[in-house]
């Protein structure tokens, strides 16, 4: 089952579908609600290359979409029992807190304020990023420190907006923010010359550049002005649901580390003598019990969705329009000098 809802969007996109929030009580867990409903409600951002793209046929794909699919696979043994909800940055947290979405899987930065004052929990990081700036080549700008007095396109209700203000004040740049609620309007304004620069997470800038009429005329400046740990978000006070979403991500990371992928997972389950692999794939042990899932929950994720590296290369890697090489970056495995790391399956 695939359903698509888009709300909080500007003109030119599909009309919003009204959603009825489902109260989450102490007596009924999110897992029970999702099972009873028969599908997952997963919140994405407005369409953007790399993270969440929407085809003309109405099919979603992308790096953060795969997190939604991993959660669905772990629960239903089917990665596509999902209602996707495309939501603007300005209303994303309200949609989560109101119970309209079961999980938020989009480029959202983990911060202290968001963790403690919005009724939400960040589960783990699935992409490490940092904020930067993009300009046109003919601007002649080579450094963010040359943006004195510049107009900069930015989304409102984001850490990006706050970081821009901090960076301008710290460096005496007198930057003039041009604020938007809709990312598509922001991008088209920048492409048409309505701002001197645009700011976002650097992966977001790569995504914006990927949909430009002519990608070759834009340059992402070298400075990284912030830390932006991105990852899926759930409501507070449901530790089981938090664990399900968090360990869906960990499964993909650990599978890559252990050499398991969507192509060899059946062979590994049948033949591997590695105790951790056997526990992960449900051959022995009872690691599924605390999650309230079947013994093949992790197997289903790897078989149907793939490991972290497979998804990274398909949507973010050097052979994609995003062109963000992973080797040697913070998003590489810890065994290769990166920060991607899963706790043990024990």
Is residue 266 in some structural domain?
A: no
Q: Is 207 contained in some domain?
A: yes
Question: How confident is the model at residue 27, as a pLDDT?
Answer: 61
Range of the domain at 145: 131-226
d(CA 23, CA 25): 6
Asked whether residue 280 is assigned to any structural domain, the reply reads no
CB 103 within 8 A of CB 40: yes
Q: Which residues contact 264 (CB under 8 A, 6 or more apart)?
A: none
- Domain boundary pick from 176, 211, 226: 226
Q: Is residue 283 part of a domain?
A: no
Residue 136 and residue 124 share a domain: no
57, with CB counted inside 10 A (0-12, 13-18, 19+), is exposed
**Which residues fall within 8 angstroms of residue 263, CB to CB, at 6 or more apart?**
none
d(CA 8, CA 32): 28
Both structure tokens of 342: 């899963």
Q: Say what the pLDDT of residue 13 is.
A: 36
Could you tell me if 277 and 260 are in contact, meaning their C-beta atoms sit under 8 angstroms apart?
yes
* Domains: count for the chain: 2
Question: What global pTM score does this model have?
Answer: 0.89
For the record, the structure tokens of 150 come out as 């510049």
Q: Which of 186, 209, 226 is the last residue of a domain?
A: 226
For position 28, what pLDDT does the model report? 86
345 assigned to some structural domain: no
Give me the CATH number covering residue 177.
Answer: 3.40.190.10
Within a domain: residue 220? yes
Range list of H helices, the chain: 30-37, 63-76, 92-97, 112-117, 159-170, 183-191, 202-210, 239-257, 265-271, 275-280, 297-304, 308-315
Give me 333's structure tokens.
Answer: 């495995």
How many CB atoms within 10 Å of residue 289? 9
- Give the model confidence (pLDDT) of 240-294 as tens digits: 999 999 999 999 999 999 999 999 999 999 999 999 999 999 999 999 999 999 9
The pLDDT of residue 1: 47
Q: Do residues 81 and 171 share a domain? A: no
Q: How far is residue 234's CA from residue 241's CA, in Å, rounded to a whole number?
A: 8
Close Cβ partners of 252 (under 8 Å, ≥ 6 residues apart):
66, 70, 301, 302, 305, 306, 307, 308, 311
310 and 161 within one domain:
no
**Residue 109: phi, psi to the nearest 5?**
-85, 135
- Asked whether residue 124 falls in the same domain as residue 157, the answer is no
User: Is residue 24 included in any domain, yes or no?
Assistant: yes
State whether 140 and 70 are in the same domain. no
> Any idea how long the chain is?
346
Residues 41, 107, single domain; the answer is yes
- DSSP class of residue 84? E
Q: Do 61 and 209 fall into the same domain?
A: no
Domain membership of residue 295 (yes or no) is no
Q: What is the pLDDT of residue 122?
A: 98
Q: What is the pLDDT of residue 19?
A: 43
199 and 77 belong to one structural domain: no
Does 23 share its domain with 124?
yes
Residue 98's pLDDT is what? Answer: 92
Q: Which residues of the chain have pLDDT under 50?
A: 1-3, 6-21, 23-25
- In the DSSP assignment, the letter for residue 144 is G
Q: Are residues 121 and 251 in the same domain?
A: yes
Same domain flag for 74 and 150: no
Q: With CA atoms as reference, report the closest residue to 207 among 226, 230, 236, 176.
A: 230
Strand arrangement of the beta sheet that strand 233-235 belongs to: 2-7, 82-87, 40-44, 103-104, 233-235, 120-122
108 and 31 within one domain? yes
């Amino acid at each position: 089952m695939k359903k698509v809802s888009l709300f909080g969007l500007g003109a030119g996109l599909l009309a919003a579908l009204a959603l009825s929030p489902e109260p989450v009580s102490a007596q009924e867990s999110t897992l029970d609600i999702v099972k009873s409903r028969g599908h997952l409600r997963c919140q994405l951002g407005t369409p953007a290359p790399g993270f969440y793209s929407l085809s003309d046929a109405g099919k979603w794909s992308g790096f953060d979409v795969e997190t939604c699919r991993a959660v669905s696979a772990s629960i239903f043994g089917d990665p596509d029992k999902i209602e996707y909800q495309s939501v603007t940055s300005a209303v994303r947290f309200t949609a989560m807190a109101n119970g309209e979405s079961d999980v938020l899987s989009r480029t959202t930065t983990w911060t202290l304020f968001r963790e403690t004052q919005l009724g939400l929990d960040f589960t783990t990081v699935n992409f490490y990023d940092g904020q930067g700036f993009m300009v046109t080549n003919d601007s002649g700008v080579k450094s963010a420190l040359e943006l004195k007095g510049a107009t900069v396109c930015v989304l409102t209700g984001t850490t990006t907006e706050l970081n821009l203000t901090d960076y301008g004040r710290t460096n005496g740049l007198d930057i003039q923010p041009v604020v938007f609620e809709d990312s598509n309007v922001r991008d088209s304004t920048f492409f048409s010359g309505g701002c001197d620069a645009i700011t976002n997470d650097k992966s977001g800038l790569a995504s914006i550049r990927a949909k430009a009429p002519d990608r070759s005329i834009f340059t992402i400046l070298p400075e990284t002005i912030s830390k932006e740990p991105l990852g899926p978000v759930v409501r507070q006070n449901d530790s089981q649901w938090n664990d399900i979403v968090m360990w869906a991500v960990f499964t993909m990371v650990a599978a890559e580390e252990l050499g398991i992928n969507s192509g060899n997972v059946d062979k590994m389950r049948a033949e591997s003598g590695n105790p951790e692999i056997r526990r992960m794939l449900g051959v022995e042990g009872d690691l599924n019990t605390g999650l309230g899932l079947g013994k093949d929950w992790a197997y289903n994720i790897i078989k149907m969705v793939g490991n972290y590296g497979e998804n990274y290369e398909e949507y973010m890697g050097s052979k994609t329009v995003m062109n963000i090489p992973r080797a040697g970056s913070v998003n590489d495995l810890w065994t290769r000098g990166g920060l991607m790391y899963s706790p043990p399956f024990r």
